[in-house]
Structure 1
Amino acid sequence: MTATALAGAVLPDGPRSPRLVQAVQFATARGKAMRRLRRRYGSAFTIQSLAMGRMVMLADPAEVRELFQTSPELADTADANLGSVLGPGSFFAITGDEHRRQRKLLTPPFHGRRLRAYEQIIESETERETASWPEGQAFPVMPSTMRITLNVILRAVFGADGAELDELRDLLPKAVKIGSILAVLPIVRRDLGGFGPGARFDRYRRRYDEIVDGLIDRAQRDPALGDRDDILAMLVQSRYDDGSPMTRSQIADQLLTLLTAGHETTATTLAWAIERLRRQPGLPERLAGADDALLDATLMEVQRVRPVVELTARQVRAESLSIGRWVLPRGTVVTACIALLHEDPALFPDPERFDPERFAGSRADMYGWIPFGGGVRRCIGAAFASLEMRIVLRTILRDFVLEPTTDAPERPHSRGIAVAPAQGGTAIVHRRGTRQDV
């Protein structure tokens, strides 16, 4: 083990190249950079980034466990994150007691009966989108999965319909795309006299706030508000322990957070699922008649081999923090390397092999399989996303035969935060009943 000492701190070793060089290498190809650094420095290394400064990156399961079990008072969300574009009321921005208070309010919609209420929405949106899929010709599925997950979010989370649904459907993908870039490269948010990506995002955000304000007004006037299942309606009715309601800005920030965290990542995972299944002879047909257990195991394996988010971060708030072999000074951003953990042969034997059976009949290691993060910051919508992916994939495989391929795997392509298949998850499909299975 080699380490660098810094005023009593003990940090993992890492590259000595200039910060700009390290930042560019990491921003353009995170997965490739992490694998290269692991080969050179082992399961922990230190890099310098432009947005987050010094970053200690962990790929040792025991150290990741310690990180996730660390009290938020000692290490919490990093200063530089999506909260800078999603708003001060976003889960990505709030910390401590405020994070606990809001998480308590938003947990019920994502569990039990409330969760099951969304199943029909998901299936109907999938059927609507796939009705126009071309048969017998190659096309990328990711634009379709993006539309499916966006429409599900707008109906299940925002309770939007009519003109509001149409405008949000047009506005939000553009805002999320720019916001993902601004979160990774905040320098491009500089005010350029009303021009540039930062100014464009601000215009989108102002219009979004106006629409949500109108949706809240309509919800408050709705005599059947208590019977609605959409999350906006639940937040309007929710109360903190002291009886106070969420503010309008808090509701707007959290709804945008739920969309950003759940729309693109879920759609991208579904695109990866199609890309992977076309290269697994016989598996799509098994899944077409399978129970939910095999579908869930398959989606877990997709998320293992093609994680859409490759790392999750905390920032040291205490004077120093001990994690395993390391002593990290205040301000250090410490990350769990999701992509590296998912391909660790000690956790997943023969990690290059796509094998859903490794998850059959057992729960995934909560510190080794972490596509939704971990600890108190684990994605609050994980159960919703898993349900949505299962129903979308089940509906597609029920209605279509996927034509297999021997083409080379699609390479990962960074979209800012998410990592997507470079060709969008190319598929060739045939509707069941129109020809013999391929």
Structure 2
Amino acid sequence: MPNGDLVDLLAGQEYTDMCAVHHTSSGVTEAGVPPGPTLPRAVQGVAFVAARRQTMAALSRRYGPVFSLDVPVFGRTVAVSDPKLAKQVFTTPAGVLSNVQPNLGRILGERSMFSLEGDEHRRRRKLLTPPLHGKSVKSYERIIEEEVLRESASWPEGREFESLDPMMRITLNAILRAVFGADGAQLDSLRRLIPPMVELGSRLATLPNLPARLGRLNPWDRFLARRREYDSVIAELVATAKADPNLESRTDIVALMLRSTYDDGTTMTTGEIADELLTLLAAGHETTATTLAWAFERLRRHPRVLADLVHEVDEGGDELRQATILEVQRSRPVIDLAGRTVQATVFELGPWRIPQGHTVLVSISLLHDDSAEFRDPERFDPTRFLGSKPSGSWMPFGGGTRRCIGAAFATMEMDVALRTILREFEVVPTAAPSERWHSRGVAYSPKRKGRLVVRRR
């Protein structure tokens, strides 16, 4: 069955679950879980995995901004695209809602922030915030520019090429240098290891655990083999950093991690550092690179915005460029969902009562496409963010205490990359249709990888 037919079947079904809303002659008296399709989990799961964005949009049109579904990995799920209820989800204490289960911790490691809860999560976040904000982030701008210039030196002129892979190399090399402060054979090993780990891990994150009897056919085994090699490289790099007599004066992220201490005076273990670095190297570089590929896909189809950006770069400004980054993230969010798991007996979400064990997914894509929050949401219009900060419905980095800790670093990286490329190259517009969305597992990229044509200025 084609994906579109499956989505239509799922969204067109009448809802009959008796636990939804109980009515009396005077109206609604008690609410349970919101309405949703009642097809078997396997059918809903196929639609969700094969066409996640289309499925969520179709169900939202059918059932409204809060609806239920039942899918593999997440199980019984409530999806939310109401701004007030999304804010409630993100501000609810950890004792009521925990991080979604399962989460990226099974890819990035049980000692990463994705896996930690409550006080442990707060302690780790407090420890890692300084290296990824303020002056620390500003100091990495030169590295980003150098990597853009190095990668773009071999770009063909006047001939179309895919921008996603070059953006991946730029962001990976930049964050490796920012993390470790130097180049070398071990970093070459990470350049080889990280891309296939990211691609495979992104797909595995959307799939249930597979039976061990699959043996070599089990993709988890391939991932874990790469993970063991990664851990070995990181252990060597951390040991080298600890032995460095200049550790106290170094500004790279590994040095800052090694010098940081929790409130009780303890430091991060090598295993904890390995998991957090994988989060930065894997999750950080892919999402930033993909957003840059989307930026070029959008700008080539909006020549007026492109021309204004070039003029601003030449004048030394950045206001429109910052607004453009916000608009790319709104109109083409790389990550479309942020989730929590209900830990309390019942989680009261607006009028609904969500039972323990349910997953609550905030739909970032649906929030960003809400015409009540963003006028003409289908229109690419960076000016909507000029002179104003994004509303609470703009959330490409998630929200609450689990908002992406690398948001400031990623924003700086995108800003410097765009500024440098627009300064050095003429980006050639196109009349080609917009590139479609392509699922890489967790993230969404342009279907044709953000095809780009440039000429040197």
- The question of a shared fold, defined as TM-score above 0.5 by the shorter chain, is answered with yes
2:105 alignment counterpart: 83
User: In the TM superposition, what whole-angstrom CA distance separates every residue of 1:360-412 from its partner, at most 9, and x where no partner exists?
Assistant: 111111x3000000000100000100000010011111111111111110000
Following superposition of structure 1 onto structure 2, how do residues 142-153 of structure 1 map, counting pairs within 5 Å?
142-153=164-175
Which of these residues, 149, 156, 167, is aligned with residue 127 of structure 1?
149
Query: What's the offset of the Cα at 1:172?
Result: 0.8
Q: Single out whichever of 243-252 and 177-186 deviates more from structure 2.
A: 177-186
Query: What's the offset of the Cα at 1:178?
Result: 1.1
2:181 alignment counterpart: 159
Structure-2 separation of matches of 1:16 and 1:273: 39
Query: What's the offset of the Cα at 1:124?
Result: 0.4
Query: What's the offset of the Cα at 1:173?
Result: 0.8
Query: What's the offset of the Cα at 1:282?
Result: 2.1
Query: What's the offset of the Cα at 1:100?
Result: 0.3
CA contact (8 A) 2:132 2:405 kept: yes
Q: 2:402 aligned with 1:380, yes or no? A: no
SS of the residue 2:426 aligns to: strand
1:224 alignment counterpart: 246
User: In the TM superposition, what whole-angstrom CA distance separates every residue of 1:163-216 from its partner, at most 9, and x where no partner exists?
Assistant: 011110011111111111111113347453345311111111111111110111
Query: What's the offset of the Cα at 1:245?
Result: 0.9
Aligned residue identity for 1:240: Y
Q: 1:313 to 1:237 in 2, by over 3 A?
A: same
Unaligned runs of 5+ in 1: 433-438
1:395 alignment counterpart: 420
SS of the residue 1:430 aligns to: strand
Structure-2 separation of matches of 1:88 and 1:293: 40
Structure-2 separation of matches of 1:363 and 1:2: 42
Which of these residues, 282, 288, 307, is aligned with residue 260 of structure 1?
282
SS of the residue 1:11 aligns to: coil
CA contact (8 A) 1:189 1:198 kept: no
CA contact (8 A) 2:198 2:283 kept: no
Q: 2:359 aligned with 1:333, yes or no? A: yes
Aligned residue identity for 2:330: R
Structure-2 separation of matches of 1:349 and 1:283: 18
Following superposition of structure 1 onto structure 2, how do residues 24-423 of structure 1 map, counting pairs within 5 Å?
24-188=46-210, 190=212, 192-290=214-312, 291-365=317-391, 367-423=392-448
SS of the residue 1:12 aligns to: coil
1:436 alignment counterpart: none
Aligned residue identity for 2:86: V
CA contact (8 A) 2:31 2:351 kept: no
After TM superposition, the runs of 4+ consecutive aligned structure 1 residues lying more than 4 A away are 1-4, 6-9
Structure-1 separation of matches of 2:201 and 2:78: 25
SS of the residue 1:193 aligns to: helix
CA contact (8 A) 2:107 2:205 kept: yes
CA contact (8 A) 1:373 1:379 kept: yes
CA contact (8 A) 1:341 1:368 kept: yes
CA contact (8 A) 1:322 1:328 kept: yes
Q: Single out whichever of 138-147 and 290-299 deviates more from structure 2.
A: 290-299
CA contact (8 A) 2:37 2:68 kept: yes
Query: What's the offset of the Cα at 1:142?
Result: 0.4
Structure-2 separation of matches of 1:267 and 1:131: 18
Structure-1 separation of matches of 2:384 and 2:191: 38
User: In the TM superposition, what whole-angstrom CA distance separates every residue of 1:333-380 from its partner, at most 9, and x where no partner exists?
Assistant: 101110000010100011111110110111111x30000000001000
Structure-2 separation of matches of 1:128 and 1:157: 19
SS of the residue 1:315 aligns to: strand
2:19 alignment counterpart: 5
SS of the residue 1:187 aligns to: coil
Structure-2 separation of matches of 1:2 and 1:61: 27
Query: What's the offset of the Cα at 1:145?
Result: 0.2
CA contact (8 A) 1:43 1:59 kept: yes
CA contact (8 A) 2:60 2:66 kept: yes
User: In the TM superposition, what whole-angstrom CA distance separates every residue of 1:199-241 from its partner, at most 9, and x where no partner exists?
Assistant: 1111111111111101111111111112212111111111111
Tell me the TM-score normalised to structure 2 length. 0.92
Q: 2:453 aligned with 1:428, yes or no? A: yes
Aligned residue identity for 1:392: A
Aligned residue identity for 1:324: G
Tell me the TM-score normalised to structure 1 length. 0.95
Q: 1:190 to 1:180 in 2, by over 3 A?
A: farther
User: In the TM superposition, what whole-angstrom CA distance separates every residue of 1:129-148 from its partner, at most 9, and x where no partner exists?
Assistant: 01111011111100100000
Structure-2 separation of matches of 1:19 and 1:168: 39
Structure-2 separation of matches of 1:156 and 1:73: 35
Q: Single out whichever of 7-16 and 344-353 deviates more from structure 2.
A: 7-16
Query: What's the offset of the Cα at 1:25?
Result: 0.6
Question: Over aligned residues, Cα RMSD in angstroms?
Answer: 1.7
